[in-house]
Amino acid sequence: MKIQPTELPGVLLLDPDVHEDERGFFLETYNAARFAALGVPATFVQDNHSGSRQGVLRGLHYQIRHPQGKLVRVVRGEVFDVAVDLRRSSAAFGCWAGAPLSDDNRRQVWVPPGFAHGFYVLSEFADVLYKVTEIYDPASERTLLWNDPRLGIDWPLVDGRLGWAREILGCDPRAQEHRVREIQPARHSDFPTPAERPAYSVLDCQRAEEAFGVRLPPWREALRLAMSESS
């Protein structure tokens, strides 16, 4: 297996040894001893399978408690996979790295705990498999805005479009009546050591309008409207 470091310390690209013949191919996708020797000394507790259509962007997700390390690969199609360094002690804090993963290159990416992770589907459909080091904890899940200018992620959008709002929210991003899932801000008490919460961990009305071209009323305006409708 060949290992390639990325711009982010700890994030690794893993190219497996593939044995091919007239019958097809064989490869090892995980071997605890070999992966530990390569710098992936992880104990995985859960395997996940995600299927998505072209133009769907999933992420950028992270957990403030029980942070997950992820070993990610694609078994059908192609995605552009991204990690963002959220370790405040890291010199690369706030920086990102991305790479294509596909059923053709059979590459895996190791994303250690302390990173946000997401991917964008380039093919007509993609099946993504990933092993994680901690179970999913919805109470501590947070999300970074995919197009926050302070991150500056260069997503290779298909035909210049993004299907995330339509596919995940099940709505037309231009519609005024759709709902955007609220993303709770991280609290200082959620961090094991005192730290200032990154401002880009909250999706506010202004950023929703910039991302989707839809104006969401401020909470005071929405409250007045709700009270007038109930009276």
Residue 30 confidence (pLDDT): 81
Residue 90 confidence (pLDDT): 87
Q: Does the pLDDT value for residue 147 go beyond 60?
A: yes
Residue 176 confidence (pLDDT): 33
Residue 182 confidence (pLDDT): 33
Break the chain into its structural domains and give their ranges: 2-171
Q: Is 130 a residue of the active site?
A: yes
**Catalytic residue of the set 117, 120, 130, 136:** 130
For residue 104, give both structure tokens.
């053709």
Residue 34 confidence (pLDDT): 83
- How far is the C-alpha of 173 from the C-alpha of 213, rounded, in Å? 7
pLDDT tens digits, one per residue of 45-70: 999 999 999 999 998 999 999 999 99
Phi, psi of 29 (to 5 degrees): -95, -20
Give 126: exposed, middle or buried? Use CB within 10 Å, 0-12, 13-18, 19+: buried
Q: What percent of the chain has pLDDT over 90?
A: 35
Spacing of C-alpha 134 from chain mean position:
16
**Catalytic residue of the set 30, 61, 66, 200:** 61
Residue 178 confidence (pLDDT): 31
Cα-Cα-Cα-Cα dihedral of 130, 136, 138, 141, to 10°? -60
Grade residue 190 by pLDDT with cuts at 50, 70 and 90: very low
pLDDT tens digits, one per residue of 91-134: 888 899 999 999 999 999 999 999 999 999 999 999 999 999 99
Spacing of C-alpha 39 from chain mean position:
22
Q: Is 200 a residue of the active site?
A: no
Cα-Cα-Cα-Cα dihedral of 155, 157, 161, 167, to 10°? -80
Grade residue 227 by pLDDT with cuts at 50, 70 and 90: low
* DSSP strands (E only) in 24-169: 24-26, 46-53, 57-63, 70-76, 78-85, 96-102, 108-111, 115-121, 125-132, 141-143
Residue 79 confidence (pLDDT): 94
Residue 120 confidence (pLDDT): 94
Domain 2-171: CATH superfamily, name plus number: Jelly Rolls (2.60.120.10)
